[in-house]
Structure 1
C-alpha cells in the first residue's frame, strides 16, 4: 500500500489507498529519488522522462547507473531532448525502451505536457503508454505535484485506472 493523491480545499493531502497492487502509480516529487533507487536496486531498468536536463537529474538523484535512461522534455535541440508537443515521439521512445529493456517508466512533467499539448491529448497519450507498459510487464509511475486542479487529477487517475 502506498500514498496516492487526493485533494481538499486546504491543499495537497496524502491518503493511503489499496488499488489492486497499483498503489504507487502516482508519486510525490519528494519520492522520486527513492523510487528510482528502489527500481535500480531491484535490477529493473528505468526510463525517466523529466523536465530537467539529464545532467541535472543525475546530480539531483545522485545516481549514475547504466540502467537509467533519461529523456528531457524540452523544445531545445539536444541529443536526449524530446519536445512536449511531440507525444508520438515520446510514445515511440517508451514503446521501444519498454519492449527491448523491459524498463519501468517514470514520467515527471505531466503539468508541462498538459501545458504544451493540452489535457485531452496528454490523457490519451498516458492511457496508451499505460497500456504499453502493462502489456510488456513494466510499470508506469507519474510524479505529480500540486499544480493540477481537482478535475485534472480526477481525470488523470481515472485514465490510469487508479481510483
Structure 2
C-alpha cells in the first residue's frame, strides 16, 4: 500500500512537472511572437517618423512586460526534469511541496507580474490607435478589463487546484 502511494505520488509529480514545462514553453512562444509583432510596429513607427509616441510607449511597455513574464516563467516557475530523478518525491517530499507552494503563490500573484504590466501596455498602445472618447476605445477597455478578470480568475483557480493537490499528496504521505 505504501509503495503504491509512493508510486502514485511520483506519477502525479511527474505529470505536474510535464504540465508546467508545457505551459512554460507555450507561454514563452506566444510572448516571443508578441514581442516580434510589437518590435516590428515600433520600428515601423520610428522609420515613418510618425508623431505618435503613445504607440511606441505602449509597445515598449508590452515588450518589457513580456520579457518580464519570460524571465519569471523560466527563473521562478521552471522545474528541471532532472529534479525528478535527483530528488524523488517519495524521498524528498518537502522539496516538492515547496515547488507546488511556489507555483501556487506565483499564480496567485500573476495579476501583478503578468497581467497588470501587459494590459497597461496594451491599453496605452490602443490609446494611440483610437480617439480617447470614442466608443471603440471604451469597448476595447471594457473587453480588456473582462479579459484581465478572466485571466486573473483562471490563475486563482489553478493556484487553488495546485494547493489542493499539494495537500492531498503530501498530507497523506506524512501519516506514515
TM-score band, normalised by the shorter chain? under 0.3
Larger relative contact order (C-alpha < 8 A, sep ≥ 6)? 2
Q: Kindly indicate which of the two structures has a greater share of residues assigned to strand.
A: 1
Q: Kindly indicate which of the two structures has a greater share of residues assigned to helix.
A: 2
Which protein shows a greater Rg?
2
